[in-house]
Every structure is written in structure tokens, then in C-alpha cells.
Chain A
């Protein structure tokens, strides 16, 4: 018979090992990738066009595609998401519309990303005749990450003390003046954190872009939002699907770059969140 004290200790060890398990596995994976791919990264790899010969191939077009997608998605998702959140928090109240919006947003957050791809394919690429362009891709990804932006913006706005609003109204400010001059400046840290997290999600997405029609082989760098494109995750997927080992090394190298981008964005988001939360604590 094991005593209750021992059971307690045993569970504590088990739970602690569970906590580190995922991180240990991830470190092993990343260690492997670094061993495989780090030596492949050089100036040529970053600036070369794609090629059917693994040794000559580079990620130039995929990198530029990723940057384009990032910028366009930010330009679409940021204003839309923040506007929706402001409407829900400051204007919506308990109306039927805002309840419907709330249910709808939590449902959208659970829709698989490939389904957004099907939406993008039929509506933006075909019906609106935008084709498999950067614009189609970034509109699709914007809709995908919109719930993330909305939810985090709402939390940020909610955290603004009511006294700030009341003080503004007392000085004769209108509702919008209060939102624009008081609420948004006081919550921008939280909003920005949400936007960065949403964008880091968008940077890693491949499935919806493949469905929309983004190509794996794009031998030129996109110059306008109407150009066809590829992104890093699709380039990686393409290299992973090939049996030759030399392409697998290319995939490892491209993964290092992609992880660098996503971890950097997540790091910035976590740092900003901590800073913003501390600021709130001091205020209240």
C-alpha cells in the first residue's frame, strides 16, 4: 500500500516530467534541424531563385512572398479586427447583434484553416477574379486570423479603467473622442500584442494558401499585390515532399529561417504583454 504522501510526491514528479516533455521533444527536433540545415544557410541560399537542383535553390521568392503576405495581412486584419472589437466593447452593449457577433466569432475561431482556403478560392480567386494572387492570399489569411485580433483587442479595451472614460466624458468629449484619445492609447500595448500573435500565426500557414492556388514554384519575386506568389511554409512543404536527401537539407535550412521569424514575433508579443500588464498594475 502506497501512502498518500508518496502518491502526492509521485504525481508531482510525473506532472513535472509532463511539463518538460513537450519542450524536451521540441528541443531535440530543433537540434536535429540545426545540425541538418545550419550549414546550408548562406547569402546565396537567401538570395537565390528556386531551382530544380537542390544545391542551387534558394528561398528569395518565398521570403519576399512571406513579407508581402505579412504586410498585406496586417493592413487588412488590423483595422478590421480593431474596429469590430471597438464596436463590440463600446457600442454593442447587450444587443442581439452583438450576441450574434460574439457567437459567430467564437465559431469562426474554430473553423479549420483549409476551409478558409476553400472560401478564398471560390470568392476571392474566382468570383472576384483576383486569381491566385498575393491579395487573395492575404485577404484569406486576414479572415483566418481576424478572431485572434478581435479577442485580444477586446481584452485590451476591457482592461482600460472606467475612470479614464468617465474623466473624458466629464470634460465634454464625445464617445469617439474618448475612444480615440483615451481608450485606444491606453490599450495599444495589448492590441499590438494580439496583432503580432495573429501575424505570427499567418506567417506559418500553408494549407489555406495552397488551396487558394499559391504555387510552389515561382521563379520571380512578386512586385505588386496582384502577382502570383509562394511563401516559406509552402516552399518547405514542397522540399519535404521530395525524396532526395539534398532537398530535405534545404527544407531544414528554410525551417530554421521560418522558426526564427515566428519565435521572434512570439518573443516580441510575450515581452510586450508582460510590459503592458505591469503598466496596468501600476495604474490600478
Chain B
């Protein structure tokens, strides 16, 4: 082999390696940006207040910097979304894996993917202009901006997420278990719920955790339909604000760079990042564990 070809091979390999390293630089960049700005935020605000104050009003004259209302708002919407999407998504996964014919699966799966393909601004518009008015006819006291419709619509978006990940988990259960259950005279329903779902439980758990992580990071649905009023409440019927919606709210305003108000979005951002990172890490470990189990 000529030397020039060898040299070219080396150069190409290096170039590919450098491209691959960009993804690591991205992670470093994210952590660095969030930490640097958050450090300058905590030079002016005490960490204790940040975690214990029950009000979040950095844009008002009377400033409070308690992240709790944003966290409860974020979790409230996520809980509604998961409470709706989990039973539906899991049922779909069981149906596709245990009942549906191959042809039906071929049509249903891409159709469900369509739900995840709809841009989130569009879902936000649905929540605000269709779901909220519809719910208001049943729940008279409901505000125009609320966690319930935002959460429900987010749930619709998350359905394909849960159904496809859970289906993968159900699919990974060895066929012998299923056959053994049938051999004992079980119906498909008994097989699914007494054998397959328990055997796939850690995989299903992974799908739930990833869905929660997805829900708390979702931005436009809540920015449009859940309101912009940080409020420490468990009621899904009143306006609240999530971490993501707050970041968008500040970005749309005229907050000067480097000011304390500007730095709040990084403090809020690092809180969000910590939550999603933790959830992703747990799901990553779980996945490793259950993959080993069946290999």
C-alpha cells in the first residue's frame, strides 16, 4: 500500500474522531454555561432561599427567588401527562405485542408515530383553544390557563413514546415464557398481565422514567396553555408556570445581559437539567440491568 493512501486513511480517521468529539464538547458546553451563570446568580441570592422560599418573582419590584413554585408547576403538568399517557400507552403496547396481527402493527405503529411528529406549538394551540374550552363546560371554575389541559395534551404527545418503548420491553421477554403460560391454559389477557408485563417490568419502568423526563423538559405546550404565574399549588385548574415556560418568558422580554434577572434562567435551567439528567441516568442503569438479564 502506498504511503499516501496510508496517510489519507489516518487523516480521515482523525477527522471522524474530531467530529465524534463534538458531541462530548456539547455536553461540556452545556454544563459549563449553566454552572458559570448559576455561580454568579448565587453570589446575589442565597441557596437556602432558592430552595425554601415559596415565591418566584424575579421580574417584580418585590423580588423572591424560590424555585419551588416552578418545580411544583413542572411536576404537576408532568403528573397529569403521565397519568393519562401511561395506561393508554401501556395498553397499546400490550395490544400490539400480544393481540394485533403483523399487518395491523404495520399500520398502527407509524400512525402512532404521527402523534410525536406534531410540533409542540401546535399541541399548545390545541390545549388552549380546544381542550380548555371543552373542559370548562364540565369544570366551571377552571381558568383559561391551567395545568390540566396542558398536561392532557402533553399526554397525547407522549403516548407513542411510552407505547413504543414498552413494546420493545415486552418484545424482549423470551417466547418460552409466553408458550409456557399458554400451555397452562392461560388466556392472552392472563398471559399478558401475569407473565409478560411482570417479566418486562424494568423495561416498562424505563419507558415511564424517560416519559417523565420528556414531560418536564417540554416547553411550548406549557408556555402557551399553562400560564405564566409561578404558584405553589397542587390544583391543576389554575394558572401556574413551569421551569421551561419561565425560561421562554424571560427570553421574550428585554432583560439586560448579565443582570440578576438574566441569570435566573440559568439557575432555573440547571435545576431542570439536574432533574432530567438524574432521570436519564436512572433509566440508563435500569436498561443495562434488564438487558443483561435476558442475554
Question: A residues within 8 Å of B by Cβ?
Answer: 4-5, 7-8, 11-12, 14-16, 18-19, 21-23, 25-26, 28-29, 32-33, 79-80, 83-84, 86-88, 91-92, 97, 100-101, 103-108, 110-119, 121-123, 126, 143, 146-147, 150, 174-176, 200, 203-207, 210-211, 213, 216, 233, 236-237, 240-241, 248, 251-252, 255, 258-259, 262-263, 266, 270
Query: Residue on A with the closest CB to B30?
Result: A119
* Residue among B23, B129, B244 making CB contact with A207, cutoff 8 Å: B244
Residues of B contacting A259 with CB < 8 Å? 118-119, 122
The answer for the CA separation of A246 and B87 in the assembled complex, in Å, is 38
The answer for the CA separation of A103 and B156 in the assembled complex, in Å, is 29
Query: Residue on A with the closest CB to B104?
Result: A19
Q: Are B252 and A19 in contact (CB under 8 A)?
A: no
Q: Shortest distance in angstroms between B88's beta carbon and chain A's nearest beta carbon?
A: 5
* Residue among B89, B189, B252 making CB contact with A8, cutoff 8 Å: B189
Q: How many residues of B contact A (CB 8 A)?
A: 84
A262-B117 contact given A115-B272, A213-B251, CB 8 Å threshold: yes
Q: Shortest distance in angstroms between B8's beta carbon and chain A's nearest beta carbon?
A: 7
* Residue among A118, A147, A203 making CB contact with B247, cutoff 8 Å: A118
The answer for the CA separation of A32 and B122 in the assembled complex, in Å, is 12
Question: B residues within 8 Å of A by Cβ?
Answer: 1, 5, 8-9, 12-13, 15-17, 19-20, 22-24, 26-27, 29-30, 33-34, 37, 87-89, 91-92, 94-96, 99, 108, 110-115, 117-122, 124-126, 128-130, 156, 159-160, 187-190, 192, 210, 213-214, 216-220, 223-224, 244, 247-248, 251-252, 257, 265-266, 269, 272-273, 276-277, 279-281, 284
Given A107-B281, A150-B23, A259-B122, 7 other A-B residues pairs in contact with their CB atoms under 8 A = A11-B192, A22-B88, A106-B284, A108-B27, A123-B29, A204-B118, A263-B114
Q: Shortest distance in angstroms between B41's beta carbon and chain A's nearest beta carbon?
A: 13
Q: Shortest distance in angstroms between A121's beta carbon and chain B's nearest beta carbon?
A: 8
A-B residue pairs, 4 tightest by C-beta? A112-B217, A204-B119, A15-B95, A83-B19
Q: Are B26 and A146 in contact (CB under 8 A)?
A: yes
Q: Shortest distance in angstroms between B96's beta carbon and chain A's nearest beta carbon?
A: 8
Q: Are A113 and B217 in contact (CB under 8 A)?
A: yes
